[in-house]
Chain A
């Protein structure tokens, strides 16, 4: 049973437009959420995170929104750039007990110039 779901395996966006990547979770104990970015032949790198006490966190072109009632979060990239083309993983954890991160299956973003 998948606790973290990324239902879109891939997404194509034109350069300069907004990219929106979605993630749903089922475990109500999750209280911290992270997005990772992965280029081919490299390890995932941390991008942005959000605590369950917030509904938005912004870092430059990247914003993560959290809707706790819907158990849904999204990553917005504005404006999208060709260098943003990568696989994006959503992850969640329950910080009590140092629970390991649970990852979604990833969404491959292609930003077209």
Chain B
């Protein structure tokens, strides 16, 4: 099935724990993105990667890290989770060579940090 998968679907995490959110796409898109969605704040970009091997910081990168070892996978890591990182996290991808930057989104991961 073509598209983006995210895992886990939801997670409850104790503050201070390390957590990696997984994202995989099978569309061979060169660019991938991580957003968080919070009530009243819309979608805010955390990190992005325009191609395998490169990453960039978005609007709210603090407390998060990413890696892009290959085209398909773009994991997001919280090294030491804090309650303010409670959110819904969306991964997205796009084919920047298409010229329109239309992004395709995964189903999201709901993370609760206690």
Q: How large is the interface on B (under 10, 10 to 19, 20 to 34, 35 or more residues)?
A: 20 to 34
Cβ-defined contact, B100 with A49, below 8 A = yes
Interface string of A93-111 (1 = CB under 8 A from B): 1010011111111100000
CB neighbours (8 Å) of B80 from chain A are none
B40 interface residue (CB < 8 Å to A): yes
Bound together, the chains give a CA A89 to CA B92 distance in angstroms of: 15
- Shortest beta-carbon distance, B55 to chain A, in Å? 12
Output the residue of B33, B45, B101 with the most chain A CB within 10 A.
B101
Cβ-defined contact, A89 with B102, below 8 A = no
Q: How large is the interface on A (under 10, 10 to 19, 20 to 34, 35 or more residues)?
A: 20 to 34
**Can you name the residue of chain A whose Cβ is closest to the Cβ of B40?**
A105
Cβ-defined contact, A44 with B105, below 8 A = yes
Task: Among A41, A89, A98, A100, point to the contact of B42 (Cβ < 8 A).
Answer: A89
**Can you name the residue of chain B whose Cβ is closest to the Cβ of A104?**
B42
Bound together, the chains give a CA A77 to CA B54 distance in angstroms of: 39
CB neighbours (8 Å) of B41 from chain A are 105
CB neighbours (8 Å) of A34 from chain B are 101-102
Interface set, chain A 50-98, CB cutoff 8 A to B: 89, 93, 95, 98
A9 interface residue (CB < 8 Å to B): yes
CB neighbours (8 Å) of B58 from chain A are 100
Cβ-defined contact, A43 with B105, below 8 A = yes
Task: Among A43, A89, A99, point to the contact of B107 (Cβ < 8 A).
Answer: A43
Interface set, chain A 28-45, CB cutoff 8 A to B: 32, 34, 36, 41-45
Interface string of A19-35 (1 = CB under 8 A from B): 00000000000001010
Q: What is the interface of chain A, defined by CB distance below 8 A to chain B?
A: 6, 9, 32, 34, 36, 41-46, 49, 89, 93, 95, 98-106
